[in-house]
Amino acid sequence: ETGVTQSPTHLIKTRGQQVTLRCSSQSGHNTVSWYQQALGQGPQFIFQYYREEENGRGNFPPRFSGLQFPNYSSELNVNALELDDSALYLCATKLGPSGSAGETQYFGPGTRLLVL
Amino acid sequence: QKEVEQDPGPLSVPEGAIVSLNCTYSNSAFQYFMWYRQYSRKGPELLMYTYSSGNKEDGRFTAQVDKSSKYISLFIRDSQPSDSATYLCALQGGSEKLVFGKGTKLTVNP
């Protein structure tokens, strides 16, 4: 177990709706990244948060947004859902300041989102 | 050209076989090389991590990096049915993001 939890485990939404996914990390893990994993693909980097600020973003539109809270838990929000947003959403946390590339990231079990 | 290429398989081997999994990459800026294992309906778990060319061994697993050829490999010796999973290579440069391959689905048959 990595100590990273995500909720909910599964979710079904319809096109145009909005969704919020949650991630809680191990104590002290102050950096969190979110990834999208479509079926049969590797995870794709969405963005990263460090000390409550976005620090790095992948090739995802602004309708993907996030928050990190003082206790280092995090949310991923997706507005105006599209069918292609159906995927496994993973968060990964690590202990260490932003910019410390190479430090181990621990993944949660993911939230499986289905958009109909 | 994709940054990271990985043959998605699927790969099916008998128990006890040696398994070879590979990725190629195009960006010389990648400095850190990882292999993750992902069981069905689970998140990826880190198996091996290295940042230099050469071999790194951990039990039945050996990670190999050839930066000159931009080629990384994972070898599994004496494969077990419990090794059946999807194996993802992940590379990292100076930024925080991990760049993953597509993953290779491995089945080890008893």
Of B76, B51, B48, B42, nearest to B61 (Cα)?
B76
Q: Which residues of A touch B29 (CB under 8 A)?
A: none
Structure tokens at B96: 């925080």
For residue A99, pLDDT beyond 70 = no
Q: Which residues of chain A lie closer than 8 angstroms to B102, CB-CB? A: 40-42
Cβ-nearest to A98 among B42, B96, B102: B96
CB–CB contact A107 B97 (8 Å): no
- The per-residue pLDDT for range B40-75, each reduced to its tens digit, is 888 999 999 888 888 999 999 999 999 999 999 999
For tokens 């485990």, the residue is A9
Q: In this complex, do A105 and B98 lie within 8 Å of one another by their Cβ atoms?
A: yes
Residue A98 has pLDDT above 60, yes or no: no
pLDDT score at A44: 96
Chain B residues in contact with A31 by the CB 8 A cut-off are 96
Q: Would you call A58 exposed, middle or buried from its count of C-beta atoms within 10 A (0-12, 13-18, 19+)? A: middle
pLDDT of residue A97: 59
Q: pLDDT tens digits for A4-63?
A: 999 999 999 999 999 999 999 877 788 899 999 999 999 999 999 988 899 889 999 999
Confidence bin at B103 (pLDDT 50/70/90):
very high
Minimum-distance CB partner of A104 among B6, B8, B49 = B49
Per-residue pLDDT, averaged over A93-102, amounts to 65
For residue A100, the model assigns a pLDDT of 54
> Which of A33, A44, A107 lies nearest to residue B45, judging by beta carbons?
A107
- Asked whether the beta carbons of residue B88 and residue A42 sit closer than 8 angstroms, the reply is yes
Partners of residue B36 in chain A, C-beta under 8 Å: 107
**Cα–Cα distance between B90 and B100 in angstroms, integer?**
4
SS3 B81: helix
